[in-house]
Amino acid sequence: MVRDLESKVALVTGAGSGIGRASAIALAAAGAKVLVTDIDQQSGAETVTEIQAARGEAAFFEADVTDAQAVEDMVRKAVDTWGRLDCAHNNAGIAEFRVRTADLTEEVWDRTIDINLKGVWLCMKYEILYMKEHGGGAIVNTASVVGLAGVRQQPAYVASKHGIVGLTKAAALEYAQDDIRVNAVCPGPIRTPALDWYMREFPDVGKRLEEDNPSGRVGESEEVARAVVWLCSDRSSYITGHSVAIDGGVLAK
């Protein structure tokens, strides 16, 4: 890994598992000091241990992204620990499965929008408030291919991910002149604990995810993480407001 992020400080939400864990590890391998944050203390601590075992620098902070005070504290923790915040990967998210729009409960709608969309907005709010006063930074939000195209039976998830793509564009326009770049990654099916559960629970759909993918396979978390590192680095210095599909070609169909 090229150390493009040497002397930078990054934070990652939902970094106890899957894509967030891979991103935290990749950011650290690229030289960043990483605040690993998650609602789950144990899995977050495991990510920190993995980074430290590879001689990277990381610390854990427990934060629920729906809690404004916790999110504000999370940003302060990164700054208090390492004196700055340069990069943020707002990644924590959940999904509902196999429920059509009219059958969705208000509870599932509220929870999905709260974590996926409000959570990303809250993180951006406090990251931007800091970065604006301290020379800028790079923010990457995890959306999804279903933030760029519709899919059946995940109405709240699809709405939340489209919302993230829109929010990414809005903030990119607002803060481009403050040297804050805001982009999104839009993963297709990526092998993570969340996807493993889904493929076990609904083997028929799981099989289709592989067969229907132009690349004939699901992706790996590291393939998303590499894009996150690139979007956080100066190598993507003129890219902002963009949503990058990392999907094996699904959206090209």
Residues making contact with ligand NAD (CB under 6 A):
13-14, 16-20, 38-40, 43, 64-66, 91-95, 115, 119, 142, 144, 187, 189-190, 192-195
- What's the closest the beta carbon of residue 40 comes to ligand NAD, in angstroms? 4
Nearer Cβ to ligand NAD, position 86 or 96? 96
- What's the closest the beta carbon of residue 125 comes to ligand NAD, in angstroms? 15
How many whole angstroms separate alpha carbon 30 and alpha carbon 148?
29
Choosing from 126, 130, 157, 238, the catalytic residue is 157
Structure tokens at 202: 């609904």
Catalytic residue flag (residue 157): yes
Task: Please state, as a whole number, how many other Cβ atoms lie within 10 Å of the Cβ of residue 110.
Answer: 12
Catalytic site residues?
Answer: 157
